A = this chain, B = another copy of it.
Amino acid sequence: MRTQKLRSKKRSSPKNAFYAQSGGVSAVINASACGLIETARKYPDKIAKVYAGRHGIVGALTEDLIDTSLESRATIRGLRHTPGGAFGSARYKLASIDKNRAQYERLIEVFRAHDIGYFFYNGGNDSMDTAHKVSEIGVQLGYPIICIGIPKTVDNDLAVTDCCPGFGSVAKYIAVSTREAALDVLSMARTSTKVFVLEVMGRHAGWIAAAGGLAGEKTRDPPHIILFPEITFDRTRFLAKVEQSVENSGYCVVVVSEGVRTADGKFLAEAGTKDAFGHSQLGGVGPVVAQMTQDAFGYKFHWAVADYLQRSARHLASKVDVEQAYAVGKAAVELALQGKNAVMPVIVRRSSKPYRWSIGEAPLATVANQEKKLPRAFITADGFGITAACRRYLLPLIGGEDYPPYIRGMPAYVALKGRSVPRRLKQPFVV
């Protein structure tokens, strides 16, 4: 009797969960991890341990798992204010099931070996596709697993969700940095720099570039020009606008997306910037457009490329963004415990003014591989600015500050112990 009870208890014992970060990281992806782990810890009868993939899905394939149960409460809490991907992320897209069935089978093999019943995948479009496929292959291989996507992308290009955790903080950073740099240029323009160019991320969608528009509030406020990937670059029109700004305001501030293209579809960054060895990776689009203004008018220019600074700037995170990042991590666990599968929590906007939002859900199939571009109605008729509708959309997302704690002048970001779960499989897997 006693033995049988124990056995049946063992049989119904809670499954472990697997969590992985995917793709480019953000200032708040760890806040999602924090929300997920803190919530999972509240349900020990349903989720035993949360194992995280070291370097994302690569960690699952290579059976390189981090045992998050060995991390202290303080460390997990500290993830909320720590940028980057604390578990390691990966740019690693699984091929289609037809093309590389072995990868999917390996995933299931690892999950089976570690008694994993939940797959939480924190990423963008591609990752939602992967999470969707994993849920399908699990069923096919007789190992059903609950798969929940957790939205993350600084690019804000995920479908269905009103916005993506990670974007609000980049938006705030770019808006504030543009305002600050513009004050600098304004100071100097009489005798020195007339044109300042800030290059921002967003290879396919202009959301981050649009956020630069929040730096200004009145018509002639900087930035005077935003160059979006959604608008074909026209050198003549651009230069005319620069000249007009310098004549009207004495200076010109340009925010340019790395994804700006010319009429032939090529990235502007590739146009005429080869070094002595013929490489074209050198130099971004920022220096290219800055140089154009000097060639045309002789203006002295400066340019900045924010690159990783913009997406790791936890010191200037949007409070709304941090809260939403935490909320989608928490909701992922709650959805899983409700028995939902192949879904992703989404941010639903209830109202813009005052800003109200709640968490909804969307089937992964509706999110996977979609790409949400900046609507044309968010860009002014001349193609160089943002409209009032865009401003209404963006402004709530940069709302509030959420400063990390500081020790001796520096932010106290946490580092994990990152202890490995002992391997159970004999066969290694090469990725």
List residues of A whose CB falls within 8 A of some B CB: 21, 24-25, 27, 55-56, 58, 82-86, 88-92, 172, 175-177, 179-181, 183-188, 190-192, 196, 198, 214-215, 272-277, 279, 281-284, 286-288, 291, 294-295, 302-309, 311-316, 318, 395, 398-401, 403, 406, 408-411, 413
Contact = CB atoms under 8 A, between A and B. Distances in A.
Nearest to A85: B187
A49 B183 CA distance: 25
A169 to B, nearest CB: 11
Given A84-B184, A180-B84, A304-B308, A318 B91 contact: no
A347 B177 CA distance: 29
A305 B304 contact: yes
A307 B316 contact: no
A78 B303 CA distance: 28
Given A304-B305, A307-B303, A411 B188 contact: no
A409 B313 CA distance: 15
B177 A309 contact: yes
A279 B296 CA distance: 13
Nearest to A316: B315
A413 to B, nearest CB: 7
A161 B198 CA distance: 34
Contacts of A305: 286, 303-305
Given A183-B82, A399-B409, A409-B318, A25 B188 contact: yes
A55 B273 contact: no
Given A88-B186, A274-B276, 13 more contacts: A24-B188, A58-B190, A84-B183, A84-B184, A175-B409, A177-B313, A180-B308, A215-B410, A275-B283, A275-B288, A304-B306, A305-B305, A399-B409
Contact of A92 (B85, B191, B288, B294): B191
Contact of A55 (B89, B191, B291): B191
A307 B318 contact: no
A196 B312 CA distance: 13
- Give the number of times this chain occurs in the complex, counting copies: 2
A181 B303 contact: no
Given A58-B191, A276-B273, A308 B181 contact: yes
A275 B291 contact: yes
Given A58-B190, A191-B90, A282-B287, A409 B398 contact: yes
Among A294, A303, A315, max chain B CB count under 10 A is at A315
A429 to B, nearest CB: 14
Given A276-B273, A304-B308, A305-B305, A84 B281 contact: no
9 closest A-B pairs (Cβ-Cβ)? A84-B183, A85-B187, A304-B307, A272-B276, A398-B409, A55-B190, A180-B312, A184-B312, A283-B283
Given A191-B92, A273-B283, A410-B176, A181 B309 contact: yes
Contact of A295 (B27, B277, B399, B413): B277
Nearest to A400: B409
A401 B408 CA distance: 10
A315 B307 CA distance: 19
Contacts of A284: 287
A172 B25 contact: no
A187 B406 contact: no
B277 A184 contact: no
Contacts of A188: 24-25, 85, 89-91
B84 A176 contact: no
A275 B273 contact: yes
Given A88-B190, A283-B283, A309-B304, A25 B315 contact: no
Contacts of A283: 273, 275, 282-283, 287
Contact of A410 (B175, B287, B304): B175
